[in-house]
Amino acid sequence: MEGGALESAVDHLADPLTDPLPGQHPSPWFRSASAEPPQAVAPEPQEQEWYDPEGYARDWYGERQAQPQETAETAETAETAEPTYEQLYGAYAPERRTPEPEPVPEPEPAYEPEPAYEPEPAYEPEPAYEPLEAHEPIPDDETVALRTEDTRRIAEPEPDRPTEGRAARRKAAKKGGTRPRGTRPAPPPQSAQGAPGAPLSRLEARRAERARRPSPGAVISRGLGEVFITVGVLMLLFVTYQLWWTNIRAQQQADGAAHDLQESWAKGKGKPGAFEPGQGFALLHIPRLDVVVPVAEGIDKQKVLDRGMVGHYNEGATKTAMPEAKQGNFAVAGHRNTHGEPFRYINRLEPGDPIVVETQDKYFVYKMASILPQTSPGNIGVIGPVPPGSGFTKPGRYITLTTCTPEFTSKYRMIVWGKMVEERPRSKGKPSALVN
Q: Across the chain, which distance is largest between two alpha carbons, in Å?
A: 207
Q: 380 burial class (0-12, 13-18, 19+ CB within 10 angstroms)?
A: middle
Helical residues (DSSP H) of 156-215, grouped into ranges: 166-175, 202-212
CB atoms within 10 A of CB 304: 25
CA distance 47 to 44: 10
CA distance 248 to 339: 8
User: Catalytic site residue 335?
Assistant: yes
DSSP assignment of 327-378: SEEEEEE--SSSTT-TTTTGGG--TT-EEEEE-SSEEEEEEEEEEEEEE-TT
User: Catalytic site residue 404?
Assistant: yes
Which residue in the list 58, 307, 339, 404 is annotated as catalytic?
Answer: 404
Residue type, 356: V
* Gyration radius from the chain CA atoms: 72
Which residue in the list 25, 58, 285, 335 is annotated as catalytic?
Answer: 335
Q: Please provide residue 220's backbone torsions phi and psi, each rounded to the nearest 5 degrees.
A: -65, -45
CA distance 432 to 430: 7
Structural contact between residues 258 and 283, judged by C-beta atoms closer than 8 angstroms: yes
CA distance 168 to 171: 5
Residues 6+ away with beta carbon under 8 Å from 419: 366, 367, 369, 392, 396, 397, 398, 399
Q: Does residue 384 sit in helix, strand or coil?
A: coil
In 3D space, the residue among 419, 424, 322 whose CA is nearest the CA of residue 364 turns out to be: 424
Cross-strand pairs, 333: 311, 402
Angle, vertex CA 304, rays to CA 302 and CA 305, nearest 5: 80
Torsion, Cα 81 86 90 94, to 10 degrees, reads: 150
Q: Please provide residue 423's backbone torsions phi and psi, each rounded to the nearest 5 degrees.
A: -125, 110
User: Catalytic site residue 413?
Assistant: yes
Active site residues: 335, 404, 413
